[in-house]
A and B are shown apart, each in its own frame.
Chain A
Amino acid sequence: MYVSPEQFMKDRADYARKGIARGRSVVVLSCREGILFVAENPSRTLHKVSEIYDRIGFAAVGKYTEFEHLRVAGIRYADLRGYAYDRSDVTARALANAYAQTLGTVFTTESKPYEVEITVAQVGTDPAADQLYRLTYDGSVTDEPGLVAMGGAAEALTAALSKGLDASAELATVLRRAVEELGRAGGRELGAGDLEVALLDRFRPRRAFSRVPVTEVEAHLTPSGGKG
């Protein structure tokens, strides 16, 4: 049976979009301390957020096995490049391009597209120097200033979070707002145990990525407790 190329692409895109929309959301935001990753993820071991290289982090929504493939491929790509050249030659831009090619090829040639959306972030010396690249299932790549939201409620989250938050705000403030909006989008209140939080710390030398432990997240979320 004949299917027009337009219809063929549209079907694939719809399929991928549906898969992604089912998943819980992830937001990536610039703040004073660095780039903050906040994911709604009750699992302590199956991560949606990961370290890729010294200044580069990764976040994803969608099908776990598929973005796990991409995460590992990203680490391999970065480590190979850093070993062949120099650690300073590994950049989020190059990695985003490599991901875009892979996703684009899978979208058009494989039997089904990847049901994933990913963000590649590189922390800079100040929020203005941060780089956030958002990649969708078909390999489109966009450079987002300071904020990316992915998953089912991406649009609502972006709209809500882009209001009244600037990149020079403190981590605790940004985290509280992000959790609030994630909860609102999901229609339930989120506690520290439902979250996966990580930071690309702009002031930490070399490997900037670190996971924020649950106790610390809790302290940030409690209005009276913690540093916030």
Chain B
Amino acid sequence: MSRELVHGPGGSSFTELLRAQAPHLLPGAAPGEPGPPGGVDLPHGTTIVALTCADGVVMAGDRRATMGNVIANRDMEKVFAADDYSVVGIAGTAGIAVELVRLLQVELEHYEKIEGTLLSLEGKANRLSAMIRGNLGNAFRGLSVLPVLAGFDLTGGTGRLFSYDLAGGCYEESAHHSIGSGAFFARGALKKLWRPALAQEEAVRTAVEALYDAADDDSGTGGPDLGRQIWPTCAVVSADGTRFVDAGTLEQVVTDLVAARRDNPGGAR
């Protein structure tokens, strides 16, 4: 155990600790040539949707990663539990996105262990903000990532959503939000489908349907893959904590949706 670990400057941020002790392990910390114009071909995570519901928040992501016009991965997870009361979904350069999520997870747990209490939801949102700001240099090199954070606010007793921009700006969303290449189409669907205080099951159906609509028009977003039985990742955060919807339930939701869209591809109602 090095002297700095015991006697080094205090603080409960793991990111700051990593910056001091092992900066080469920070996400995307590879030393910087600017790279070729247009960037290099790397897998990109695509669409995530998040919406509030009566007793919390729901977040869902498709499973596709693309590299140019090639499908790099069919069953990638892009929605993660950040801790017991929050989830994070990330679109953009997959390698850096996954590292950022890992860092956020350790950051929140590290704080919890050292301070003996959970970070407030705003605190979590701000920590993520700082991480995205730290990635701005990478964004200029074409390695951008964009998250969405959803969590249950234990003080206020409600589910809340936070969106971000590449400079680390953090904005609270009151109803729903989507990110990634299919975000525009998903947003259109959410505008029509979302209502205040949706029941949890309805919110899950709405999220899956918004992803269906995104996949319908965006080649980067993976649609329902009944043949391979690949379903979207879907997480629910409520007063009971973070929970991932099980594959059986998702299969039913997707199968019903596909049946409902038969002869009605736009889902008119």
Partner of B116, one of A45, A73, A98: A45
How many whole Å from B26's CB to the nearest CB in chain A? 10
CB neighbours of B25 from chain A (8 A):
83-84
Partner of B22, one of A74, A80, A99, A207: A80
How many whole Å from B107's CB to the nearest CB in chain A? 9
Partner of B106, one of A47, A83, A98, A101: A83
Inter-chain contact A51/B22, CB cutoff 8 Å: no
In angstroms, Cα B14 to Cα A74, docked, is: 13
CB neighbours of B114 from chain A (8 A):
72, 75
User: Is the C-beta of B110 less than 8 angstroms from some C-beta in chain A?
Assistant: yes
Inter-chain contact B6/A83, CB cutoff 8 Å: no
Partner of A52, one of B10, B14, B113, B116: B113
Inter-chain contact B17/A99, CB cutoff 8 Å: no
Which secondary structure characterizes the binding site on chain B?
Answer: helix
User: Is the C-beta of A76 less than 8 angstroms from some C-beta in chain B?
Assistant: yes
Inter-chain contact A47/B6, CB cutoff 8 Å: no
Inter-chain contact B22/A84, CB cutoff 8 Å: yes
How many chain A residues touch B (CB < 8 A): the figure is: 23
Inter-chain contact B116/A80, CB cutoff 8 Å: no
Inter-chain contact A101/B116, CB cutoff 8 Å: no
Inter-chain contact A79/B6, CB cutoff 8 Å: no
Partner of A98, one of B1, B21, B102: B1
User: Is the C-beta of B109 less than 8 angstroms from some C-beta in chain A?
Assistant: yes
User: Is the C-beta of B5 less than 8 angstroms from some C-beta in chain A?
Assistant: yes
User: Is the C-beta of B7 less than 8 angstroms from some C-beta in chain A?
Assistant: yes
Task: Evaluate whether A75 and B110 lie within 8 angstroms (CB atoms) in the complex, with A47-B116, A80-B18, A101-B1 already known.
Answer: yes
User: Is the C-beta of A19 less than 8 angstroms from some C-beta in chain B?
Assistant: no
Task: Evaluate whether A99 and B116 lie within 8 angstroms (CB atoms) in the complex, with A80-B18, A80-B21, A84-B25 already known.
Answer: no
- Which A71-90 residues have a C-beta within 8 angstroms of B? 72-77, 79-80, 82-84
9 nearest interchain CB pairs?
A: A98-B1, A73-B6, A73-B5, A102-B1, A76-B5, A75-B113, A79-B110, A51-B113, A77-B1
List residues of chain B with CB under 8 Å of any chain A CB: 1, 5-7, 10, 14, 17-18, 21-22, 25, 102-103, 106, 109-110, 113-114, 116
